[in-house]
Amino acid sequence: MDKNRSLRIQYENDFYDKTDHYYTQGIFLELIHPGIGKFPLSKLLWQPIGSEVKYGLALEHNGYTPTDFTISDIQVGDRPYAAALMLKTFSIATDPLKHRRISTTLSTGLIGPGAGGGEMQTAIHRKTGDDLPLGWHNQIANYPVINYQILIEQKLVALGPFALFSVDASCRLGTLSTKACLGGLVMLGFFNQPFQSASAQKYKTQVYGYMHPQINLVGYDATMQGGFSRSNPYTIPASDIKRLVYQQRLGVVVKLFGLYAEYFRTWTIPEFSNGKAHGTGGLQFGYWF
């Protein structure tokens, strides 16, 4: 989003890929506002000197299921049921002189039955007339989520408002997941350069596509391995977790005055032994003011 005051909602689901397993649904609601900088948790975020900083809060809910959710028994060798609900406190610091952006995120919440993943999926399937999920009683047990992430993006080449090539690196540490990522970004179309100062972003109408390939070095993932709790009905052993995982996201964005719309698709190679490649699709809508 181009301004420091905005609202955005995202819905992601794997029905776009004609599946209903693994990462099966995600809901994300975001508010960016200068006043959030006074929020106590915002004080824990990295704020680089000489940067223009935007502050935000987001509520995120994610759900995960095995390949066949119509089986009530534990499916050994498959992904466990899991759901996570988090409050994300974040900042986005842009340095227009160094053409660099640093995003810091603190996630706090819960993984387990308290996140309501089973109730949400059951309600959606009942409304749509689909088969009801039967195995949520086997999900990852309740455990607190505390995660801290730093993402650094660096512009490499920009061709006016028509093209951008950049690289990014991130590190995430906490009870939900621990991993390091390295990626790249290609944007083509007509848009405000994201590494510019806010005052230099003059185009009110923007249309562009993007591609973001990424390599993840996975240390720990509680949605598969549990939250350091011995009460989990079933988890995937650490020896079966894939440590190098490739992921790719493609999207199309339209910005018209204060409105934002995006459609995107993601693809991820298998994340555990005997797992399958998986794809999702999503929509985002936003408004800045």
Band of the pLDDT at 228, cuts 50, 70, 90?
A: confident
pTM over 0.75: yes
Per-residue pLDDT tens over the stretch 268-285? 999 999 999 999 999 999
Residues 215 and 21 sit within 8 Å (Cβ to Cβ): no
* Domains of the chain, earliest start first: 6-288 (2.40.128.140)
State the pLDDT at residue 14.
Answer: 85
Q: How far apart, in whole angstroms, are the C-alpha atoms of residue 198 and residue 2?
A: 7
**Torsion, CA 246, CA 250, CA 224, CA 127, rounded to 10:** -160
Which tens digits make up the pLDDT trace of 143-156? Answer: 999 999 999 999 99
Q: How far is CA 226 from CA 175, 206, 236, in A?
A: 9, 42, 8
Q: Are 212 and 187 in contact (CB under 8 A)?
A: no
pLDDT (average), residues 87-97: 96
Q: Which two tokens stand for residue 164?
A: 């951008």
pLDDT at position 221 is: 97
277 alpha carbon, distance to own chain's centre: 18
How confident is the model at residue 129, as a pLDDT? 85
Question: How high is the pLDDT of residue 110?
Answer: 97
In this structure, what DSSP letter does residue 80 have? P
Amino acid 20: pLDDT: 79
For residues 82 and 120, the answer to whether their CB atoms sit within 8 Å is no
Could you tell me whether strands 177-190 and 6-13 are parallel, antiparallel, or unpaired per DSSP bridges? unpaired
pLDDT at position 128: 85
Across all residues in the chain, what is the average pLDDT? 95
E-strand spans in the chain?
6-13, 22-32, 52-65, 82-95, 100-111, 143-159, 163-174, 177-190, 205-221, 244-256, 259-268, 278-288
pLDDT in tens, 50-75: 899 999 999 999 999 999 999 999 99
Neighbours of 118 (CB within 10 A): 19
Q: Is 80 exceeded by the pLDDT of residue 1?
A: no
